[in-house]
Structure 1
Amino acid sequence: MSSTDDRRFEILRAIVTDYVETQEPIGSKALVERHQLGVSSATVRNDMAVLEAEGYITQPHTSSGRVPTDKGYRLFVDRISEIKPLSNVERRTILNFLDSGVDLDDVLRRSVRLLSQLTRQVAIVQYPVLSLSTVRHLEVVSLTPSRLLLVLITDTGRVEQRMVDLQEEVGDDDVARLRELFSGALHGKRLEDASHEVAELANTAPEELRGPVLRVATVLIETLVEHHDDRLVMGGTSNLARAAADFAAYAGSMKPVLDALEEQVVLLKLLAAAQNPGTVTVRIGEENETANLRGASVVSTGYGSSGAVFGSLGVLGPTRMDYPGTIASVVAVARYVGEVLADR
């Protein structure tokens, strides 16, 4: 990149930084006063004219300063060279807060609360994807002589409970045998692989247990393979009130964004692109496929441990967002959520 291009990018960076902070269009005079650009006001005005002609900034009103466009934000985000590391105190605070969660639900609720407070945006966390988890424990409990309760616990702390109607009575000894058979087939296996083991059990079970094994296997396979209940936890919706003017400038009000936040399928799609821990996806304005979110930005990443991905998390807010700080917070919370869940 030439020195002229470097200088123009520094002007763009200054416009983005000041506009995010002040929510006011930025003029050349303000840039010269606030930033050590090393050039005259005339040069800054010329560079701003070029940036505007190239679509990186725009003038919302006649005689006003300039504001970044989606294209300008995209260039700014793409040129973020490194993520600002958190201090030791910040890291310990985050880890201790998340580690105090009593179970998976509590850890995820704490995660969205923390992420929304750190970024002052709407935070969204996806429950660990069941098919990517490993079975830690299976409990088989007799509720009545002909009804069982299956409790499946994964390595991410997710708990799935299913009822099984056996259509015949079985004694305590047979319940113990069922527990031993299925626990042996499932323990330590990824759920995608465990379904094959369960299906094989239905073919090789002792004759006297063939019926109960088949019914338990059917329920487990539905849980392991055909599970579509990808749940989400969301927090910080009230933060959108601070950005009412941003959304009003695009769509007239916040209502389209609020409508989109009510659709779980939309939110899952927003997080779908972020499946690798440490790799951050930033979608800005028009880059969002959902029309109601064309005035918003989404910053997301995956969370997990030791190369395994549990799920995704991220934040949603106006395009006028502190991208460096938001990216740093999203990465930090994702890292520690993965560590906390992996240690449980």
Structure 2
Amino acid sequence: MVNVKSPSVKTQFSSAAQDLLDWYDKHARQLPWRIGPQARKNGVMPDPYRVWLSEIMLQQTTVPHAAPYFEKFTTLWPNANELAEAENDDVMREWAGLGYYARARNLHKCAKALAELERFPDTIEGLLALPGVGPYTAAAVGAIAFDLPIAPVDGNVERVISRLMTIGGDGSATGWAADKKEITQCVQALVPKRSGDFAQAMMDLGSGVCTPKSPNCGQCPWAKYCLAHREGNMESYPAKAKRKPQPIRKGRAFIVVSEGKVLLQRRPDKGLLGGMLMPLSSEWIEAEGGTDIPFPLEAEWQAKGQARHVFTHFVLHWDVFVAHVDARPNSLEGDWIAMDKVIDSGVPTVGKKALKLALL
């Protein structure tokens, strides 16, 4: 393991930072929210709104999945003021499919906060004061949009530095937490003047070259520095914790159809899928519970199969039932959406799975 306080090590890895930037100048990904390295060298800086929006979308989401949403959002709402004026339902509808819906609620709150400011915050303290902006997002926006001398550290960057400096962890949560602090210090010690390009180069290196499995060391600008590569055991870093099997929860989805429309209900703002339109549902209970789940009204319910969905902390087994009723039941509140529009009405992925089973 290296000692980043050693002058000789700092000199060694200062050269590595420049090598990474040289590589990035040639191989930078073209992304809809990114200003390329040559343009930045010519003084063109990215719109911080676009950087912020992309970073919020990329949390727990891949670039290919997020890019179409980014294009859609920036077409509908090209700046923070216009996003702030949007209806919350419209924002949630356009977000549907990106998951982690608290991000969408915080995105809208943050846009409203930005609209009240004279300019986009250009300090870490100012960025951290925004709703939904944590240390990683503040560092990413600060570095990429304003060239602040700070390095955002995500999972890709952690893996790169873990291998570069053989900071491996012992596979335990405690051990890796300590190592993540050291990795952050190590990355910070490497930050050059072109901090925005350096941050994006690290992201590109981790996502496309120093991958979790079968890293492409032949294309890596840091292969000659990498201690794990020198040992020939790159995939051993960082040490992988044993994954526990995810618990299973079960429930029932109730698709009620009347006069060509489907009943949807909005979930509470707080909690899982907060504020999203969803089919009627029972509670989601532990699979071992075995409690009988009642239907919400008397009707001829048809079983349509089981929708399965993986959340962060559990897997849902959702038994789907559909009932066609002549009159809309007064006992059930919600929005009645036309059958040909219900799939695209802003329902999250798990809800779409149930609706497709019942209606298609």
Whether the TM-score (by the shorter chain) exceeds 0.5 is no
Given the two structures, how large is their TM-score scaled by the length of structure 1?
0.24
Given the two structures, how large is their TM-score scaled by the length of structure 2?
0.23
Q: Which protein is richer in helix relative to its size?
A: 1
**Higher Cα radius of gyration:** 1
Q: Which has the higher contact order (CA 8 A, sep 6+)?
A: 1
